[in-house]
Amino acid sequence: MDLPIYMDGHATTRVDPRVVEAMLPFFSDHYGNAASRQHRFGWRARDAVSAARASVAKLIGAAAREVCFTSGATESNNLALKGVAEASRDRGNHIVTVETEHRAVLDPCARLAQQGLRISHLPVRADGLVTPASLEAALGPETVLVSIMLVNNEIGVVQPIRELAGVAHARRVPLHTDAAQAAGFVPVDVAAAGIDLLSLTAHKLYGPKGVGALFVRRGVAVAALMDGGGHEAGLRSGTLNVPAIVGFGRAADICREERAGEAVRLRRLRDRLWEKLHRSLPGVSVNGSMTARAPHNLNVSIAGVNGEQLLAGLSDAAVSSGAACTSSRRESSHVLRALGLDDALALASIRFGLGRFNTEAEVDHVAGAVCALVKQLRAPEPIFEVGDDDLPAAWR
């Protein structure tokens, strides 16, 4: 067992060796520009991109022509939110999203608010889920888009997207979902769920960083954010990153073929980790629903410990906190605050992101390390009566 053990799969995942193998020829042998139509180097790159597009589309139940490649989920979210807002100026100026969204949705919404759009942020229940009734109440005649994350990046809860899409569609409003944390771990079918726009990124499903996609259902109007050649059906101009796109396609194929079995294994590992923590540590609690939850996520708060000390002391495990760090100070997570946690408990949280390469032995090791460290941090510090004569000479 190699140390440290990586359990931060929500931040990124290791690139699967099968994905690397698929990518390598496109750095040195098949290095053409996919937009070069006059020679075989360009044709080979074009065909590889087409095959990858079909693979990504198949992963989410879409048509290949509905998939636009981007640099990642952040760009996809920006294109969906700002592109729909721009294309819908004559119909309305209202977007509905959720308090627990990733910053890649909240920040573009804040930018649109500065430009005069009205943004509504739906609350969540204590389990992290949005209710269809709250969405229904937020919609109005000026609403042009609903954006609700499929799987939350911190607490792993899976929103009832099909029901929420039905509410939005009853008012003739399209629904966008950030599925960056979902596609590699839970079934995604844009047709069955009624999803109109969907954001993906390869590096959350064992593909390379720097490549993602936006699904846009045919008939949904989206204005381009970048101009300069009309690539990707005019939605996203720029030379395509062919090696990364090829890797994305291979990663999508592997996820589609292995996701069901992998989900069973990851859920078993996740439940084993939770059982060991729960059995050994009083005052530990799960954040978010345990039933409507992605199989690879566990987010817990541990009462009575300092979160920074806890993370700093886990030298054998790469995990993250439920709290976000800014340049000047550490703040409690907006997601955990939305669930009703106070700052002390939110700052004492750990997010475990299990993945394809984790083992049962690693889970046992990490659980043991967390339990031992928490007990050490909770232990009262000894108090000694120390006089001057007891101090080393150098300290007097």
- Euclidean distance between CA atoms 326 and 341, whole angstroms: 20
Q: Are residues 44 and 175 in the same domain?
A: yes
Among 235, 255, 275, identify where a domain stops. 255
* 266 in any annotated domain: yes
Q: Are residues 251 and 297 in the same domain?
A: no
**Per-residue confidence (pLDDT) for residue 307, from 0 to 100:** 82
Amino acid of residue 5:
I
Q: Are residues 215 and 303 in the same domain?
A: no
Per-residue pLDDT of the chain in tens (396 residues, 90 and over written 9)? 899 999 999 999 999 999 999 999 999 999 999 999 999 999 999 999 999 999 999 999 999 999 999 999 999 999 999 999 999 999 999 999 999 999 999 999 999 999 999 999 999 999 999 999 999 999 999 999 999 999 999 999 999 999 999 999 999 999 999 999 999 999 999 999 999 999 999 999 999 999 999 999 999 999 999 999 889 998 999 999 999 999 999 999 999 999 999 999 999 999 999 999 999 999 999 999 999 999 999 999 999 998 888 889 999 999 998 654 443 456 889 999 999 999 999 999 999 999 999 999 999 999 999 999 999 999 876 554 545 555 445 443
53 token code pair: 């597009």
Widest pairwise Cα distance in the chain: 88
CA atoms within 13 A on the CB side of 92: 18
Q: Are residues 200 and 340 in the same domain?
A: no
* 137 in any annotated domain: yes
Amino acid of residue 284:
V
Q: Are residues 43 and 113 in the same domain?
A: yes
**Per-residue confidence (pLDDT) for residue 263, from 0 to 100:** 98
* 95 in any annotated domain: yes
CA 233 to chain centre: 26
Element at 176 (helix H, strand E): strand 175-178
- Euclidean distance between CA atoms 253 and 60, whole angstroms: 11
Element at 261 (helix H, strand E): helix 242-280
276 token code pair: 């060991």
Q: Are residues 229 and 289 in the same domain?
A: no
User: Coil, strand or helix: which one is 103?
Assistant: helix
- Structure pTM? 0.94
* 388 in any annotated domain: no
Instruction: Indicate the angle between helix axes 242-280 and 40-60, nearest 10 degrees.
Output: 30
* 383 in any annotated domain: no
Residue with tokens 């997010």: 351
Q: Are residues 87 and 162 in the same domain?
A: yes
- Euclidean distance between CA atoms 200 and 83, whole angstroms: 16
Instruction: Supply the CATH number for residue 114's domain.
Output: 3.40.640.10
Residue with tokens 């995604």: 188
Q: Are residues 46 and 57 in the same domain?
A: yes
User: Coil, strand or helix: which one is 306?
Assistant: coil
- Euclidean distance between CA atoms 138 and 68, whole angstroms: 30
Q: Specify the number of domains making up the chain.
A: 2
**Per-residue confidence (pLDDT) for residue 395, from 0 to 100:** 43
Q: Are residues 310 and 179 in the same domain?
A: no
Instruction: Supply the CATH number for residue 268's domain.
Output: 3.90.1150.10
- Beta carbons of 178 and 149 less than 8 angstroms apart: yes
* 391 in any annotated domain: no
233 token code pair: 């059906």
* 386 in any annotated domain: no
Strand-strand pairing, 297-302 and 349-353: antiparallel
Strand-strand pairing, 212-216 and 197-201: antiparallel
Q: Are residues 320 and 219 in the same domain?
A: no
Q: Are residues 349 and 361 in the same domain?
A: yes
* 72 in any annotated domain: yes
305 token code pair: 């410990």
Host domain of residue 287 = 5-10+258-378
Residue with tokens 């087409």: 50
User: Coil, strand or helix: which one is 117?
Assistant: coil
- Euclidean distance between CA atoms 393 and 281, whole angstroms: 42
Q: Which residues are known catalytic residues? A: 325
* Residue 203 CB partners (closer than 8 Å, separation 6+): 12, 13, 15, 72, 209, 210, 211
Q: Are residues 304 and 203 in the same domain?
A: no
